[in-house]
Structure formats: structure tokens, C-alpha cells
Amino acid sequence: MEVPETISTRQVEQWNHHADVVVIGQGVAGSCAALEARNAGAEVLIVERASGGGGASAMSSGIFYLGGGTAVQKACGYDDTADEMYKFLFASTQPANPQAVREFCDNSAAHFDWLEELGVPFERTEFKGKAVFLNSTECLFVTGNEKAWPFNEIAKPAPRGHKVAGTGENAGAVAMNAILARCAEANIPALYDTRVTAMVVDDEGRVAGLRARQAGKDIYIAARRGVILATGGFNLNKEMVRHYLPLVSDPAEPLGIPSNDGFGLLLGQSVGGVLAAMDGVIATASIYPPAQLIKGIIVNKRGERFVAEDAYHGRTASFVMEQPDQTAWLIVDSSIFAYPEIETHQHRLVDGYETVAEMETGLGIPTGALQRTLDNYNRDAASGCDRRFFKQQEWLQPLDSGPYAAFDISFNKSIYLYITLGGLNTDSYGRVLDRDHNPVKGLYAAGACTAHIPQSGKAYASGQSLGPGSWFGRIAGRHAATAEPRP
């Protein structure tokens, strides 16, 4: 996609709408930005391409990654601190902006309280198992790599996934319904079915507003203090995915809504913003539930293990994507055999085998390679210490009870769902940065159109879109509301 041309204020004959802060997009980041800007006293206008608010956030499983001692963590008996949360995030994500991550951790518990005050419902309950999403209203569970080595040696593990009190893969709608209701109560106007087509800049190069298409006509919207982009990711844009994410191959499917086409990134680029972490992607096609499958091993076509099987499912997927021919199998024995329960991922049972030698032949693995891997793994499992990847002891069990079975979990055969992690580069205030790391005057961004805290699927945790997205949306809204107005 081509970067759109900008429009000079001199070319605008008439402004159709005026506001202090104009927010483009009404998912969780945009909604929270609008609320915070309104709370700071600004006149706010939301511009949304769809016929209503919610965005991809409403289609999500409703998990907010928060910690540092939230009310739910305390109620469930965890003494998590902002320091431990930061140590984990710093080690696992290697953030490009450590100060922004530090501030997120320091304010995470208070941000949870803010969400509850909006009416977002969270139970004081915990799910102790391994899950991708919950078909119950339980709230707190481990959604990342906190318990995986080496992170469990760097920071004290704690569950930080806070799921809204809804059920299923689209529980995020429960959160967004509450947040959108607060936007309505705050009398924040929104223009729906309105697609932004270009940014408007003044003679000083400051973003002054935008042009949008509504009901077949062009309209112009002036922003006295700032424009906030909250337009979502780019995983529905096939051209951008091919360019930036060459390892994402068919039959992988984007997880989002049609407006996640990356146009917000192009709008930011049109006024000098730069992109970061565009090769970042989080894919998922979890082998669990049932959790007993974690006791199996995952091997590539050379018969080698390459990831700890108890790692977060997105971390596993990233490693699978990088294997030779993107090929991987889950190997189990008769004592733990079960079919993966998320049928939409289509992990196919290849076959059952009486011996490991037969399995090597059936899978085309070099003779003796899988046997060596299993011998080493079984020896470690019997001793209680996985010396290869330090898989946690609760998931260690010798695989020596034939017959055996193999499930094909190859990236180019199973159905992996993915979202993008790259986007506009921003500072700690949500200001979009140019190539010299200076703020683009009058332009902010938050949520999935910005570079995430985790810039690789190996570092991601469920909830690291809604949690940081809502927080940094607030930061952008607050800062834009207090910016110096255009003369």
C-alpha cells in the first residue's frame, strides 16, 4: 500500500468538525484515550470506520495483562510487585523503551482499579490450569512465560492474565461494552461509518486534522491539540504481511477485523512517523488443552527438540515457524495420549506406532535421531531435571509406554492464527516519533497500530494487547488533552 499524500491547511476550504483531540478508532486503546482526554477537560471527537465501537478488542478473549499487586492478585494470595513484573517484562521482551515499560508496571495495579471503576467486571477468582481462553468467568491465570526457563530464575513468577468476567474466545465484548457505555455517559461524540483518508498539516508541519470519507463525501475535521491514531494492526493487509512477515505462510489466518489493514500506520508515515518491529508476529495453534499433552515432546524433521513444551503457546509457535520446512510434530505415548481439544487448529494425528523406529520411518526422521532425543529426554524426566530446556517438573514424565503417536503441528499445515506486533514508534507519552526520534507535532498513537512492548511472539503473553493498549491509550489521551493548542 502506498503512503497517502498529506493535505495542507491552505487546501481546506471549510472544516466540518472541530475538537481539541480527535481519536481515530474506537477499540480499547482509542476508547481509553478518548475517556482520559475528556477527563482532562478536552473536547473530544472519535472517528470510527465501522458502524459502532469495539474494534478487534471486542473480538478478543478479553484478557488484560496487568500486575504489580492488583486487587485480584491479592485476593488470590499473590504478592506480585511492580519490580518483579518489570524484571520479567524486561528480560522476556527486551523492550525498545524500558522507561515506558517501567511506568506501565508501576501503574498497572492502579490501572486495573481504573478499569473496574469504568464498570469492566473482573471476578476475584483464579484458574490454575493451562488454557488459551476460558469457557468460564474465572479471572486470574498465567498467560505467558513467567514459569518458563530462564525467566522463572530472573523474576518471581506470578499470574498476570486478568480475564474479564465473560466466557469464550470473544469475552472481550464484555469489557468493551462497559467502556463504550462510559464513553456514551461522558457525551463523547463519535462519527461512525467514517473512513480517514489523509492527514492535514499546517505550515509548520504540525498535524492539524484529517480528511475522511463519510456517506460518499469528503469531510474535514480539525484537531486543535492533537490527533490520536488507534487504528489496530496490519494483519488483514496481505501485501504488508507478505512484505514484513515472510515466514507467515498459508494456511495461517489473521485474527482480527477487516479494518486491521494497516492504514493507520500509513497515515502516521505520511507525516513523518517511522515504523518499528514490523517483523514481529504472535501466532497461536496451541497443543493444549488438554494439559496432559504438555508432557509430550515437540520435535522438528531432524528429530530434535527445539522449545520447552510448557512454554506459552505463542512462544512455541514462533519456534515452529523457524524450523526447517516449518515442520514439527508433537510426540506422545499411550500414557498421555489425547486429541488436542481446539479443533480449529487442525493438528492432525499422523499415525500410531508400536516402536520409535517405526515412528522415525513413518515421519521421515533420520534413523536413530528421534530415539536419541527420547532416550535423553526420558533420562532427564526420570531424574526430574530437563537439562535441554528446563521444562518444569510438573510436566516431566518419561515417554516409554508404547505405542506412540505423532500429531502434525507444522506451521504450514495446521491452522495458526496470528496478530502483528509492529507499528508506529512512539515515546512514553504516546507521541509518534520521526526518524530522528523527535515527536511528530500533533500526532499520537496507541494500541495495535504501535510497536508493542513484546516485539516477538517468543516474548508475548496473552493480554499484552489489551493491558498495555488501554494504559498507553490513556497516556496518549491525557498528554494530547494538555498539549499546546494550535494558534
Instruction: Give percent of the chain above pLDDT 90.
Output: 97
Per-residue model confidence (pLDDT) at position 168: 83
Domain boundary among 348, 373, 408: 408
Confidence grade of residue 282 (pLDDT, cut at 50, 70, 90): very high
pLDDT at 144 over 80: yes
In a domain, 418, yes or no: no
| Residue 328 and residue 293 in contact, taking contact as beta carbons nearer than 8 Å | no
| Whether residue 143 sits in one domain with residue 128 | yes
| Whether residue 297 sits in one domain with residue 193 | no
Average pLDDT over every residue of 48-55: 97
| Whether residue 68 sits in one domain with residue 93 | yes
pLDDT, tens only, 441-477? 999 999 999 999 999 999 999 999 999 999 999 999 9
Tell me whether strands 140-141 and 190-191 are parallel, antiparallel or unpaired: unpaired
Average pLDDT over every residue of 298-319: 97
Per-residue model confidence (pLDDT) at position 169: 84
Where helices occur in 216-368 by DSSP H, the ranges are 238-244, 263-270, 313-322, 356-363
Q: Does the N-terminal peptide bond of residue 254 adopt cis geometry, omega within 30 degrees of 0?
A: no
| Whether residue 357 sits in one domain with residue 229 | no
Domain boundary among 343, 375, 408: 408
Grid cell listed for 40: 482532562
Give the DSSP letter of residue 351.
E
Q: Which amino acid belongs to residue 153?
A: E
Number of separate domains in the chain: 2
CA–CA dist 287, 339 (Å, integer)? 9
pLDDT at 66 over 90: yes
In a domain, 330, yes or no: yes
CA–CA dist 135, 169 (Å, integer)? 8
Per-residue model confidence (pLDDT) at position 71: 98
CATH at residue 386: 3.90.700.10
| Whether residue 79 sits in one domain with residue 22 | yes
In a domain, 416, yes or no: no
| Whether residue 352 sits in one domain with residue 438 | no
* E-strand stretches of 89-180: 140-141, 161-163
| Whether residue 294 sits in one domain with residue 277 | no
Domain that holds residue 378: 286-408
Confidence grade of residue 70 (pLDDT, cut at 50, 70, 90): very high
Average pLDDT over every residue of 197-205: 97
pLDDT at 41 over 90: yes
CATH at residue 77: 3.50.50.60
Phi/psi of residue 228, each to 5°? -115, 120
pLDDT at 88 over 80: yes
| Whether residue 312 sits in one domain with residue 177 | no
Residues paired with 349 in a beta bridge:
407
Phi/psi of residue 422, each to 5°? -90, 165
What pTM was estimated for this model as a whole?
Answer: 0.96
Average pLDDT over every residue of 21-36: 98
Confidence grade of residue 416 (pLDDT, cut at 50, 70, 90): very high
In a domain, 451, yes or no: yes
Instruction: Give percent of the chain above pLDDT 70.
Output: 100
Per-residue model confidence (pLDDT) at position 1: 76
* E-strand stretches of 239-336: 253-254, 275-276, 281-284, 297-299, 329-333
| Whether residue 162 sits in one domain with residue 54 | yes
Sequential DSSP letters for 444-469: EE-GGGB--SS-STTT--TTTTHHHH
Domain boundary among 356, 385, 408: 408
CA–CA dist 444, 436 (Å, integer)? 16
| Whether residue 369 sits in one domain with residue 427 | no
pLDDT at 289 over 80: yes
In a domain, 45, yes or no: yes
In a domain, 413, yes or no: no
| Whether residue 432 sits in one domain with residue 393 | no
Tell me whether strands 423-424 and 275-276 are parallel, antiparallel or unpaired: antiparallel
In a domain, 382, yes or no: yes
| Whether residue 126 sits in one domain with residue 4 | yes
Q: Is residue 112 within a helix (H) or strand (E), and if so which, with residue range?
A: helix 98-118
pLDDT at 196 over 90: yes
pLDDT at 118 over 80: yes
pLDDT, tens only, 258-268? 999 999 999 99
In a domain, 417, yes or no: no
